[in-house]
Every structure is written in C-alpha cells, then in structure tokens.
Amino acid sequence: MGCHCSKAVDASGPRATKASSADATASTASRKSVIEHLSKTKPGIKNTRIHRRDITEVYEILGDRVLGTGMNGEVYLARNKATGKTVAVKTLSTENLNSRKFELLRNEVEIYLHLDHPNVCRLLEVYEDPTSVRLVMEACTGKELFERLASKKKYGEKDAAQVTKQMLDAVHYCHNQNICHRDLKLENWVYADSSENAPLRLIDFGFSKVFTQNQPMTAMHGTVYYVAPEVLEGSYDSKCDVWSIGVIVYMLLSGAPPFGGTTDAQIINNVKTGEFSFQGPRWAGISDAAKSFITSLLQRDPSKRPSALEASKHEWITSNLVRTSSENGEDAGDIDRSVLEGLCQFSRQNGIKRAALGMIAFSMSSNELLENLEKEFKALDIDGSGTIKLHGLKQALMKYLGTDGDEAERVFKKLDQSGDDEIHYSEFLAACLLTRLAMNERYIQEVFDKLDVDKTGFISAENLRSVLGDSYCGTSVEELVRQVDYKCNGRIDFDEFVRALTEQREVELEAEAVDPDRGTAQLEILRSISRSFIELAVDEVTSPNDVTVTEGLKCNPTEKGSFGFNLNNE
C-alpha cells in the first residue's frame, strides 16, 4: 500500500511548553516522589505494582536494544534476572525537573496505572529511584501497525477495518475512563507479538490527560500530520482522538497523509482548512463505505464527528468484521463455558487467594497467559465500554450455565476487585488464572513479599489495609486474615499463605454467612474444624508428594500442571 510519511513533528507551541518563572526555579528536593504521591491515592491491587527500589536489582537493562523513544523517555528491552522474562522499560528522568514537567511525568505514570484493556499495552510494574521512574511494560514484539500491514502479501480494506475496530475499542475505553490520548499516530500502535492473530496495542501516554466532561482542553499537544484542527485553535475535547484515527485510516488505505505539505507550517495550514480528497490511483479500488467512514472521522466540526463508539458501528467496520467458527463448530462469538465456570469457581475461593491472583494478573504480560482471553473478555463486554458490567455477566451466566440472578450478582461482586461496579480486564484475567496457572513457589513468594509490607515475615490485617484498603470485595481485612489464620494467632505466616493459595476447598467462611444469633462463637467453631488438621498439614511436610495430616490419613497434592503448589518449582 506504499510507505507512510515518517515525519512527525510535535505540534506543541510555546503554550505547551512555557512554564512560569516560579516553576522554572522550583527545587526538585521540595517535591515528593511519584510513588509517595500515588501511595496516598486509594489503596488497591493496581498499586501493588509500584516499587521504591533500584530496578537493576530485578531487571537487567539491555542498553543496546532501544525499542523506541516516547515523549518523555527512551524505551529499552530488559530481562528479569530471576525468570528470564523479557519486558520493555521506559525511563523517565526526574532530575532537574521544574514543577510543571514533574506534574506531566507523574500524570503519565498515574494514567498508565489506571488503564487496563486488551488493546492497551500492559503496564507491569513501576520502579522509582532518586533520579528516575521506570515503567516496566509488556514487550510488544510484533511490528508497528503500518509496517505489519505493508509486509502482508495481501492487504486490503478488510485488514484495515479489523485493525481500526481494535483502535476504536482502545480509544473508546480511554474516553470512557475520561482519558484523552492526544497523540494517536501510526507509531503508537504496535502488535503484541508476531503471531497472525496478535492483538493491537496502544502505547505512549506522555501527552495523555484526564479530562472533565464539558470542560475543554487547551494545551496544543500532538504530531502535525495527525493533530485535529480544534487542537490548533486551543479548545477541544476527546474527539480530537477520533480525528487522529481518521488520519491513520486514510494513511493505511492510501500510504499518504490526508493533509500534506513540505513544511510544518504548510501541514498545519492544510489541517486547519480540513480539506482532503480521495483522488488518485490509490483510491480507485477503495469502497464508498471506507471513504464515508474516513469523511465522518475527518469532520472539521467536532460536534458533528462521531464518538469512538459510534464510529465502531459504521457500516465499513461492521461489514468487515470476521466471524469464524471454533474447533467444535460453535460460532466464535459464543462464550466458552469453561471460562464462565472458572469465573464462578474463582468467586468461591478465600479472599486472600482471590487478591493474590489479582496481583499476579496485573503483573503478567499477555504472552504469559496460557491462551488468548481477549475474545472472551470482549464477548462479555456487551456495551463495548472496555469493561464487563453486571448485566453482561448476568446475561452470559444465565444463558450458558443457567445461573440465577442472585448468584450472578454474587459472582460479579467477587470479581469486581476494585469495587467500582465493573470488571476490568486484569480482574477478569485473575479469575481465569485460577484454572490456568500452576501456582509455583515464585508466584507465592512474590505476592507474600508484597503483602508483608513491614518485612516481618508475617501478614497482618494492617499490612492488608495498607495494600487493599479497609476491605476487599466487601470483606474486611480482619476477616481476610481470619479466613486463613489456621494457627489462630492473628497473623498469616508463609506456610499458612501457601495453604491459602493452594487449597482446593471452595469454602469461604465469611461473617455474613454465620447465624447472627450465634455470631463469632459459631464462626470460630467452624474454623476450628479446618484448623485441627490443616495446622498439621503445613507443619509436617515429609516430601512434596506425601503430606502427613494425621495417622491413617493422607493429603494428596494436585497433579502437576493443575492449580497446586510445586515445592520443586518445576
């Protein structure tokens, strides 16, 4: 389809970079660190990815492998010293920054920590040392969008429409979270890996902003070929991102930008006029539907421009979506029953186990998952918001499993780890991991260390409160400790933690399930039944395959590959 023009110049004018003299002379020592600021926000599993330590203790930075340069720093390939896992690391220098630039940096980190969608590059961890903040992201090893499509032997409108749908999904999700990207361009869309059906990922949130509805943004950020005319005029809303997608699609189908020029000034002037054409041999074979789609997105008046969700329902998109059949002959749009069964099973685990799986899911890259779960997530996201709502999950559970409404609501509440009445992508993955992840010693130790905040070798209710808040999915942190405090000493040691994460029981002894007339006494009697043999199980391990519980009884560990603790870490 031809080569796209790679010239991309920041459209930010003096208004985008000018700082007050007070800002320029602000002392870097007077401001707090990025992590100190984030630690004051609402606690939650998302923030367990934050570390205040030298990243080189955990990762080897491969300095000769520069993956790219974002708005605020370079991106390098790195390798986890313990696991060998390859990641991408973006370094954001915090040295000699005035207050305004520091706020921009902190804004990028905070926004990225919040985002959680199949078509957004996953942020795995954040490290801060005295001179920098490092963003550890999944390494997207596929090519950039245009390069990948141009390298295909056959590339047509169907290919372009399918990737455009993924772009619109990501942008609609961001807008639904009140986040405007403000620098959408071909270079900021990459493939997760080199496989044929690899998902597209949105990267680089250096210019992103949390916006308020009906309150225009004013800073001129972007790249000249892709910037919307209203951005250049200094008053715009999130639909500036939709314009940029229109430019990208035009370039995908023609190989040239809709608004050209030999200088930045010429390009900007052409963008302001908003005039473009579909003339030339490249457009001869392009459908009217494609041209209609592009025209709607490049509507100069943003009030007449569709939202990302509205654009995804355009005829050109819907007519080019492929519906395939799975191996058992079912429509690919159907939801896998085993996934729904796994969600229900997850909801019946103890709270510590669910929280631990949530922490693991947030720090896992997509290629570590045993199968592609993006399709299942999007099938449950029936309103296209980028999250799963109660009505979507309830509809699926009732249709495929015959679950009643009350039980579906209970399952939803246990999956909604953030407590915001929607299930985010990593919360969905956490539930799926229950039946797909062999819980080995490394995972257990990593989660234990994150929860053992004061490094005493034990997890207390106060430790959990500092990480999760006062409660988790409606269960108090004191109750979370009691659920797995098999030794009845008010804290969780490592052996108890192992047991909590690897036991197969689907029993959750929560106070809300206890007869209110008998209260705590009944609860303690119920717990003592388990404690009478569980304490022996964690203390009298004779071998990984032979756990003595009491004379004449044996506790057989799960088979290799299932959700069981492997002491040999095989």
Catalytic machinery residues:
183
* Residue 90 marked in a binding site: yes
Taking the C-alpha atoms of residue 207 and residue 11, their distance in angstroms, rounded to an integer, is: 11
Q: What is the DSSP string of 21-51?
A: HHHHT--GGGSPPHHHHHHTS---GGGGGEE
Instruction: Classify 5 as helix, strand or coil.
Output: coil
Spatial separation of the C-alpha atoms in residues 205 and 72, rounded to whole Å = 9
Torsions phi, psi of 64, nearest 5?
-90, 0
Nearest to 356 by CA among 301, 433, 302: 433
| 3-state DSSP assignment of residue 355 | helix
DSSP string, 116-146: --TTBPPEEEEEEETTEEEEEEE---S-BHH
Q: Which helix (H) or strand (E) holds 494?
A: helix 494-502
d(CA 29, CA 456): 31
Contact 339, 371 (CB under 8 A): no
Q: How far apart are CA 532 and CA 550, in angstroms?
A: 10
* Residue 166: closest CA among 148, 152, 153: 148
Binding residues are 90
Binding residues for ATP are 90
